[in-house]
Amino acid sequence: MLIAANWKMFKTQSETRAFLERFDPPEGVDVVICPPYTSLGVAVESGRTIYAQNVHWQNEGAYTGEISPAMLVELGVAGSIVGHSERREYFDETDETTAERAEAALAAGLGVIACVGETEEQRDTGMMEGVLRRQVGALPRHDRLVIAYEPVWAIGTGKTATPAICQHAHAFIKSLTDARVIYGGSVNPENAGGLLSQAAVDGALVGGASLDVDSFTAICRLAIPS
């Protein structure tokens, strides 16, 4: 099981250090922490596996505000999230730019968690499988690529896919790719057990519940193989 913490735009360097000093993940679970850019260096010093929340497709250039794969590698970062629904919604990320970011990161030796997922309208109108087929189909094939199924309607809304919905979506994605597939979307200690018990679920990408060390540790413990 892979459990990843996406801290989004939360936690300063001192807060990151304090979290990681307390955090003691259980054995048998792969854990990734994804802090904001300013806290990457502090996080790497902890010895944990650290991913960025985004990465550019060029190693250098006139791209104000972007961070390259080479910069992450030099810092000791192990990988990056790409294509998160918030990047798609607020910063106009597309399937094409998500794929370019993933390809560049993988070429640099980084791991990648690539996010896919449908909106509520797309689900209600029967478009879910078509959306997932398009998004997954744009991504490269690679053994360091992990896909995070994050239904847009469950991101930061408190809504969570039921275990049955989660299993169906993950099984469909796995029919399209050999990559591991983890679930993201309002995962918390109360619902993680049911979601992680599904046969097609390989872990979770945790947002708000990962900001509290006790909450995130509880989710990690629920991922321990039985």
Out of 56, 84, 93, 103, the active site residue is 84
Residues 6+ apart with CB under 8 A from 19: 11, 213
Backbone dihedral region of 53: left (phi > 0), alpha (psi from -120 to 50 degrees) or beta? alpha
> Does residue 220 contact residue 186 with C-beta atoms inside 8 Å?
no
Collapsed DSSP state (helix, strand, coil) of residue 67: coil
Rg (CA), the chain: 16
Closest CA to 56 of 94, 86, 82, 89: 82
> Does residue 52 contact residue 72 with C-beta atoms inside 8 Å?
yes
> Does residue 78 contact residue 51 with C-beta atoms inside 8 Å?
yes
How far, rounded to the nearest angstrom, does the alpha carbon of residue 73 sit from its chain's CA centroid? 18
Confirm whether 84 is a catalytic residue.
Answer: yes
Out of 86, 103, 118, 150, the active site residue is 150
Q: What is the DSSP letter of 107?
A: H
Distance CA 3, CA 201 (A): 11
* 38, burial (CB in 10 Å: exposed 0-12, middle 13-18, buried 19+): exposed
Residues annotated as catalytic are 84, 150
